[in-house]
A and B are shown apart, each in its own frame.
Chain A
Amino acid sequence: MPDGKTEKLVIIGNGMAPGRMLEHLFEQAPGQFDVTIFNAEPRVNYDRIMLSPVLSGEKTYEDIIIHGDAWYETHGVTLHRGEKIVSIDRTNRTVTSQNGITVAYDRLVIATGSNPFIIPVPGHTLPGVVAYRDLDDVGAMLAAAEMGGDAIVIGGGLLGLEAAAGLKARGMNVTVLHVMPNLMERQLDPAAGYLLQKALEDRGIKVICKANTKAILGDGKVEAVELDDGRTIPASLVVMAVGIRPSVQLAKEAGLAVNRGIVVDDGMLTSDGHIMALGECAEVGGQVYGLVAPLYEMARIAAAHLAGNKTPAFKHSDTPTKLKVTGIDLYSLGDFAEGPDREEIVLRDATAGIYKRLVIKDNRIIGTVLYGETADGAWFNDLKKKQTDISEMRDTLIFGQAYQGGSPLDPMAAVAALPDDAEICGCNGVCKGKITSTITGKGLTSLDEVRAHTKASASCGSCTGLVEQLMTLTLGDKYNPATVTPMCTCTDLGHDDVRRLIKAKGLKSIPAVMQELEWKTSCGCAKCRPALNYYLVCDWPDEYADDYQSRFINERVHANIQKDGTYSVVPRMWGGVTNAKELRAIADVVDKFQIPMVKVTGGQRIDLLGVEKEDLPAVWADLGQAGFISGQAYAKGLRTVKTCVGSDWCRFGTQDSTGLGIRIEKFMWGSWTPAKLKLAVSGCPRNCAEATCKDIGVICVDSGFEIHFAGAAGLDIKGTDVLGLVKTEDEALEVIVALTQMYREQARYLERIYKWAKRIGHDEIRRQILGDVERRKAFYDRFVFSQKFAQVDPWSERVSGKDKHEFKPMATVGYGEAAE
């Protein structure tokens, strides 16, 4: 800055490109500008590439925020959220928003991005027709998905297919309509397009190519889509993902040079010397861009020019395309049209679903399509970029880097062999040397640190594997990849992936899961089988047949195994309340079976310890006579609801805590959960039921019921957080049940509620359970549905003879023939 004065920089738009520009700018010229941003969306800057994982449920909004509130504060940026700029006054150098805020600028950056193209067929304005551009669109799709039913995605390109996979993962019937003969025709050749279509169809997504949409039908809302050929396909949701158009209206009205996009030079300057443009709205060298890598390149150049360095200039380069649909590996780069001066090398492996094609011109790679196995993408990209003469390795080129020069068949060796300037992260343009030198220079040891310092793998995440390999190479044993811990040694998949795939692929038995997810063992192990059994019970309560042999012994014999092989038996006492008849029955059982120890538990129950396994059915039969059912003190499921005596007795009690506890327990007993679930209800803030260290707790107050969650008093000690305050018992029950169901559906097996909540975020849980009434209702309804199948007393079942082999030896031998 020549005269040392702060200049006013105003930015219209708060997407990824201007966000990245500011990061560079604050690094290169801190304090040079006083920055004001106008964002038409009511939010901070988030990672738009990650909308698909949000849609499919793999990520939440919080996960994809790039700049949180604190970032704007730290850098003194004024962010106007939900303020759309409606005019630019170039003479007086001001901009004005729709609500009348006028701000003067010295330098203006237009980053208005693009608008989704909506095909103007009849019915395109019906409610239920959405685009796929921002978080509001994702919100609309998720709301539709919760109702279930049929969805149609118009457009078989990158975005359309990611939307389709996401909606399918959310349980909708999805049909993709694509006007061209094969999917993603701009990035894929017909063969790879076919494989992709097949893979999508295998997941239950219908694909119709050469489909011309004639009209969207419906009375007041979307009901169906009609095609040119007369076919009508029912749908309650239509997603238009047919392309984007640079958003140039504002620039045009201001009289700037506009072609397809806002015309800028290779320094991002528009036809007005005070105004720059970048991102999807900008046209440079006659091209507009939609992928993140060139947009970030624009951001880098714009920042340099703003900071006073006019040397960097934007140059076009091809960007690889990757589809972010879990389980489908696809990579495409450059030019792969056929031509007389071109040759191609093709490798197909039908059984493995692999297709690779290299397009060669003058012994140089000009295009690459990889499907099914994409590990060599970075290497091919590097050969292409450097225009390496490949004639020496032509015969083995297609097999990939590991096959060249006799180097071993090891992915690690392949990464080790990459040159320092090989690009690892395409989104952020980070090369290998930058990553390895930053790891060494800054002493980084975790993936998150590498992401923070280098930006590698920080956008779409598809290069995470490569980055991790680099970390292993650089750090050796010091690096423990912690991103995805596999469930067990039977699979490379983590719990979250397995849970998601069970839903997405509709897997309804343990053998189906193992087959489809390519388990490495024939019948799993003691770690994965109980987890899978729980996930299936939770996801398909009406259809899944519980696998007895995949349950731990306690859940098989419905008692707790003790160190000497005897069992402990805990009858259910609702809310911890009992009476003389029940106590007498317990006393009789203790006498009759000579039970050596009777103890009161921490959950307000009576525990009978030292029962022989063979005696269990008889003990249960006697307890059942007195009206007891299993207390499920052994279950990864609802255990106990502790209560205090509440307003019936206590002079401090504000509500009937005992009654509410009993009501909750009667509603929720029998439900299986990822780990044990213990609740408590206290009648006043003195908290005699110790509700504030429970998985879920209630503190009754005069004005209603304070719902607490995510406490712990075991290996970890942790007080609960308040979820919220509700007025009535009915509401308290609904909130507790919905929270339990959310936990049941999302947590990893054996993960207590406080660990899950920490991972998901307490605010996110509040948003879904308290902020979103429809979602809460849906959770509640799913819990109620699953209880229809869960509330069966396991003790009376076994008294009636179920699993009777379990309680008797197979034979007694060796006592001699006449020993009777």
Chain B
Amino acid sequence: MNWTDIGHIDDIPLRGARCVKTPGLTIAVFRTSENEVFAIENRCPHKAGPLSEGIVHGKSVTCPLHNWVISLENGMAQGADEGEVQTFEIRNDNGALSILLKAPMMVAAE
């Protein structure tokens, strides 16, 4: 387990998202209209749509492919849909963001 710096909150537009690439998967980092940040896997549980491309509203994002609504807080699909995406812990230290990566997501330097 390792806190990894990913950049500054201002790199993400309000009600928007950016991607963080890791060896295993891509993480979508969201910034809500209330300036809260969340990190979840960039992969909709429905058909793997890139959630970072969705419209951000409240503490949810709507997937761009088929309009599933995913909670940014717990990764659960909302409404009648069932599914869940992985969430990651994220720290906001005066705007400097870092996420907690699990060991299998790291590869050793060659």
Contacts and interface: CB of A to CB of B under 8 A. Distances in A.
A809 interface: yes
A801 interface: no
A526 B16 contact: no
B109 A812 contact: no
Contacts, number: 104
Contacts of B49: 565
Contacts of B29: 810
Given A526-B54, A805-B11, A819 B18 contact: no
Contacts of B33: 522-523
Interface in A762-820: 805, 809-819
Contact of A549 (B5, B14, B26, B110): B14
Nearest to A550: B55
A553 B58 CA distance: 18
B58 A526 contact: no
B69 interface: yes
Contacts of B60: 525
B85 to A, nearest CB: 15
A522 B109 contact: no
A524 interface: yes
A525 B12 contact: no
B48 to A, nearest CB: 8
Find the residue from A523, A529, A552, A810 having the highest chain B CB count within 10 A: A810
Interface residues of B, number: 44
Contact of B62 (A522, A526, A810): A526
Contacts of A818: 109
Contact of B6 (A557, A563, A805, A810): A810
Contacts of A819: 107, 109-110
A813 B20 contact: yes
B72 interface: no
Interface in B38-58: 47-50, 53-58
B23 A811 contact: no
Given A529-B57, A553-B54, A812 B21 contact: yes
Given A524-B57, A553-B53, A565-B49, A816 B109 contact: yes
A815 B16 CA distance: 26
A810 B90 CA distance: 14
Contact of B58 (A521, A549, A550): A521
Nearest to A811: B6
Nearest to A547: B15
A534 to B, nearest CB: 14
Interface in A43-88: none
A552 B64 contact: yes
Interface in B87-110: 101, 105-110
Interface in B1-15: 4-7, 11-15
Contacts of A557: 53
Contacts of A812: 20-22
B57 A813 contact: no
A530 interface: yes
A814 B105 contact: yes
Interface in B52-80: 53-58, 60, 62, 64-65, 67, 69
A810 to B, nearest CB: 4
Contacts of A117: none
A129 B41 CA distance: 66
Nearest to A551: B55
- Among B12, B23, B105, the one with the most A-chain Cβ atoms within 10 Å of its Cβ is B23
A763 B33 CA distance: 45
A194 interface: no
A813 B58 contact: no
A524 B33 CA distance: 11
B76 to A, nearest CB: 17
A552 B63 CA distance: 10
A742 interface: no
Contacts of B23: 814-815
A561 B65 contact: yes
A26 interface: no
B6 A813 contact: yes
Contact of B108 (A524, A805, A816): A816
B20 A809 contact: yes
The interface centre, meaning the residue of A522, A526, A530, A552 with most chain B CB atoms within 10 A of its CB, is A526
B12 to A, nearest CB: 7
A812 B105 CA distance: 12
Given A526-B62, A563-B65, A549 B55 contact: yes
A816 B4 CA distance: 11
A399 interface: no
Nearest to B6: A811
Nearest to A521: B58
Most buried by A among B47, B57, B58, B101: B57
Given A523-B33, A561-B64, A810 B55 contact: no
Nearest to B26: A809
B9 to A, nearest CB: 10
Contacts of B48: 565
A548 interface: yes
B58 A522 contact: yes
B41 to A, nearest CB: 13
Contacts of B69: 525-526
Interface string A498-532: 00000000000000000000000111111001100
Contact of A530 (B15, B55, B106): B55
B5 to A, nearest CB: 8
Given A526-B69, A548-B13, A552-B64, A811 B58 contact: no
Given A553-B64, A809-B26, A819-B109, 13 more contacts: A522-B58, A523-B58, A524-B57, A549-B14, A556-B53, A565-B48, A805-B12, A810-B6, A810-B19, A810-B20, A811-B7, A813-B20, A813-B21
Interface of B: 4-7, 11-16, 18-24, 26, 29, 33-34, 47-50, 53-58, 60, 62, 64-65, 67, 69, 101, 105-110
10 contacts: A522-B34, A525-B62, A529-B55, A549-B15, A549-B55, A552-B55, A811-B5, A813-B4, A814-B105, A815-B109
Name the 6 nearest CB pairs between A and B, nearest first: A816-B109, A526-B62, A810-B18, A818-B109, A814-B22, A553-B53
